[in-house]
A and B are shown apart, each in its own frame.
Chain A
Amino acid sequence: MSALAESNIEFDFAEAYRALNYEDLLSGLPGASRNQSNTFWPGIDFHVEDTPGEVIWLEVKSWNPDSIAPKDRGGSRWSFQCKMKSNAFAQEMRGKFLGASSFFAWDNRDLPSNVRFILLFEPPHQMDSALVLTLGQKVKQQLMPPKILPWRNRINVAALTLAEWNLRYPDYPAKKI
Chain B
Amino acid sequence: MAEYPYHETLRLQNFTVFKDSAFEFVPGINAIIGENGTGKTHLMKALYAMHRSQSRRNRSIAETLGELFQTSNISEIVRLGKGKHTTAEVSGRYNGVDWAYAIQRGEPKGIATDTGAITAERPIFIPALDMMGHTGGFLQAANEVELDFDLTCTDIVALLGLKNRTENTLVLRDLSDLLGGTIEQDQTNGRFYLVTALGRLPMPLVAEGLRKIATVVQLAQNGWLTPGTTLFWDEPEVNLNPKIMDEVVGAILSLTRQGIQVFLATHSYVILKELDLQTQQTDTIRYFGFQRNEAGITINGTDDFDSLTPNPILEQYNWLYDRELTRSTGRNRKGERVG
List A residues at the B interface (Cβ < 8 Å). 54, 77, 116, 118, 126, 128-133, 136, 140, 156-158, 160, 164, 167-171
Q: Which residues of B contact A128 (CB under 8 A)?
A: 306, 314, 317
Q: Report Cα–Cα, A131/B314, bound state, in Å.
A: 10
Are A167 and B333 interface neighbours, CB within 8 A? yes
The answer on a CB contact under 8 Å between B329 and A130 is: no
Dominant secondary structure of chain A at its interface with chain B: mixed
Query: Given A54, A131, A168, A170, which contacts B325 in the complex, CB threshold below 8 Å?
Result: A168
Count residues on chain B whose CB falls below 8 Å from chain A CBs: 20
- Chain B contacts with A in 309-333, Cβ cutoff 8 A: 314, 317-318, 320-321, 324-325, 327-333
The answer to whether A160 and B325 have CB atoms under 8 Å apart is yes
Chain A residue numbers with a CB within 8 Å of B333 are 167-168
Within 8 A of A (CB), among B282-339: 306, 314, 317-318, 320-321, 324-325, 327-335
Complex-state Cα separation, A173 to B324, whole angstroms = 21
B59: interface (CB < 8 Å): no
* Docked pose: A129 CA to B333 CA in angstroms: 14
Q: Which residues of A contact B321 (CB under 8 A)?
A: 129-130, 132-133, 136
In the bound complex, do residue B335 and residue A160 qualify as a contact, i.e. CB atoms below 8 Å apart?
no
Q: Report yes or no: A136 in contact with B314, Cβ–Cβ below 8 A.
A: no
CB distance from A141 to the nearest CB of B (A): 13
A129 touches B328 (CB 8 A): no
Chain A residues with CB under 8 Å of B332's CB are: 168
Q: B269–A130 contact, CB under 8 A?
A: yes
Q: List 10 A-B contacts (CB under 8 A).
A: A54-B330, A129-B318, A136-B321, A136-B324, A136-B325, A158-B324, A158-B325, A160-B325, A164-B325, A171-B335
A77 closest partner in B (C-beta): B277
Determine if B331 and A169 form an interchain contact, defined as CB atoms under 8 angstroms apart.
yes
Contact check, A156 vs B327: say whether CB atoms are below 8 A apart: yes
Which of A116, A126, A133, A167 makes the CB contact (< 8 A) with B330?
A116
Query: 14 other contacts beyond A164-B325, A168-B329, with CB at 8 A cut-off?
Result: A54-B330, A116-B328, A116-B330, A118-B329, A128-B314, A130-B269, A130-B273, A130-B314, A131-B273, A133-B320, A133-B321, A156-B329, A167-B335, A169-B331
